[in-house]
Structure 1
Amino acid sequence: MDFSSIVDFFKFLLDSEEIIQYGGLALIVLIVYAENGLFFAFFLPGDYLLFLAGLFASSGQLNFPITTVSSSIVGAAILGSYTGYLFGKLLGKNLDTRKDSLFFKKRYMDQSRTFFAKYGGKALILARFMPIVRTFSTIIAGTVGMPFRTFTLFNVAGALAWGISLPVAGYYLGERFPQIINYVEYIILFFIGITTVALIRTFITMRRNRAGGQTKSSVEKL
């Protein structure tokens, strides 16, 4: 496989419309599974893929009932998160010494760990709607030794909230406004904008909290 073929493959993985049209529900499920628990899959589309899956189901381009689409996504999200949790429990600490690469950035682990420390188990629900953090939060849960039952509770709750709300929203809007299918590019840009703002706000909050903690420690030493 030459370099151009590899580039084309990654372009395909990042193109939600092509994933749905040519890969169908099977590829959607596979991507959801990977993006929810495999650290090297953090770059895969998430939120807007789910929304577009519902939208395409309403137009018939994805030939499955919305109940099948949503339940498949929820199941893949749950299983993907279990994979991330078990990976974190068994090997997660090794990631702290892993060097940065194209498919791994240590700062993503640090950001997810700070996010998890602040929100606890609720982070697993909130993180479902945040790219990158969604991928690493399950690994962090395993690394810090969150009890399996507790993890299961938040894992299932988060998967249900994420895996139902976005596809159903896409399906509902597609039913009410069929012409929206012609504006897929703008929908993707909208989701990217929303998630980028959320990530930036979270990162700034984490930096402030970290700086505040360091200042407090310095004062206490004095």
Structure 2
Amino acid sequence: MSFDFISLEAIQNLAHTYGYWFIFFGIMLENAGIPIPGETITLVGGFFAGSGELSYALVLACATFGAIIGDNCGYWIGRWGGIKVLEKIGKLFRLSHEDIARAREKFIGNADRAVFFGRFIALLRIFAGPMAGLSGMPYGRFLFFNAAGAIAWSLTMTGLAYFAGSFIPLDKLVGYMTRFGIFALLAVFTWLSVPPLLRSLKKWRGDRAKSVEILPSRAISEGRDS
């Protein structure tokens, strides 16, 4: 999933001009919490490697180490900056304080999976590091799942563009991955939003049932008093 304030053409031009440095720093900044289209940058790098313009091994190394270092920066930003930092990032995506708090609650119970699998979803990729630091996830544990996720993500994205780029145009490949990212993000938002709604509905029904029980008992007691 990419953020369209940087066009695919602009990313290609930057990759042409700055090569591996652009891939490394672009991915690092996204994983540190800055909304840059790191996934698209990785796909462009893999595509260029497939065409022979760049080395596949070096693109893979830049993507992997950029992701690991960026997420580590994000971890310490969340650890030292607290929830105010996440709220500032969240404002870019119109996320409220309640949204951040709900996400943090879910993150605490699923930290390992969130750090590893969140790598494959753009918005979670931006928030995973800061959220891990904010939630007090032990650093050694975070480092392990962060590195494992970075390796898996880099291999998948770079390899996909490297091999599929020979028969799928780059713009279509980026479009497919964008749609996948949107569906995955919707699934995560559903997972975060539906349980609280169900709990609220259950509480409302319980309160309503209690009020219905109280009304007849009051009527009976008033009848006896009269």
In the other structure, the counterpart of 2:18 is: 23
- Relative to structure 1, the CA distance from residue 96 to residue 155 in structure 2 (aligned partners, 3 Å threshold; closer, same or farther) is closer
> Of residues 61, 65, 79 in structure 2, which corresponds to 1:71?
61
Secondary structure class of the residue paired with 2:25 = helix
Distance 1:25 1:111 in 2: 37
Give % identity.
24
- Relative to structure 1, the CA distance from residue 30 to residue 196 in structure 2 (aligned partners, 3 Å threshold; closer, same or farther) is same
Distance 2:39 2:173 in 1: 11
Distance 1:96 1:218 in 2: 31
Alpha-carbon shift at residue 117 of structure 1 (Å) = 3.7
Alpha-carbon shift at residue 28 of structure 1 (Å) = 1.2
Structure 2 alignment gaps of length 5 or more: 211-226
Alpha-carbon shift at residue 188 of structure 1 (Å) = 1.7
| Paired amino acid for 1:31 | G
| Paired amino acid for 1:192 | T
| Paired amino acid for 2:85 | L
Secondary structure class of the residue paired with 2:19 = helix
CA RMSD of aligned residues (A): 2.7
Asked whether the equivalents of residues 50 and 166 of structure 1 are also in contact (C-alpha less than 8 Å), the reply is: yes
Q: Does 1:88 align with 2:78?
A: yes
- Relative to structure 1, the CA distance from residue 100 to residue 135 in structure 2 (aligned partners, 3 Å threshold; closer, same or farther) is closer
In the other structure, the counterpart of 1:54 is: 46
Alpha-carbon shift at residue 152 of structure 1 (Å) = 0.8
Distance 2:182 2:21 in 1: 28
Distance 1:97 1:80 in 2: 19
Give runs of aligned pairs for residues 1-222 of structure 1, distance below 5 A. 11=6, 15-38=10-33, 41-42=34-35, 44-61=36-53, 63=54, 65-95=55-85, 98=88, 101=91, 103=92, 105-107=94-96, 109-110=100-101, 112-174=103-165, 178-180=166-168, 183-215=169-201
Secondary structure class of the residue paired with 2:137 = coil
* Larger-Rg structure: 2
- Relative to structure 1, the CA distance from residue 96 to residue 140 in structure 2 (aligned partners, 3 Å threshold; closer, same or farther) is closer
Instruction: After superposing the two structures, state which structure 1 stretch, 88-97 or 73-82, moved more.
Output: 88-97
Cα deviation 1:76-124 (Å, max 9, x = unaligned): 11110110000100012223665975x4644474564255245221111
| Paired amino acid for 2:24 | V
Structure 1 alignment gaps of length 5 or more: 1-9
Asked whether the equivalents of residues 26 and 41 of structure 2 are also in contact (C-alpha less than 8 Å), the reply is: no
Normalised to the residue count of structure 2, the TM-score between the two structures is 0.77
Normalised to the residue count of structure 1, the TM-score between the two structures is 0.79
- Relative to structure 1, the CA distance from residue 160 to residue 30 in structure 2 (aligned partners, 3 Å threshold; closer, same or farther) is same
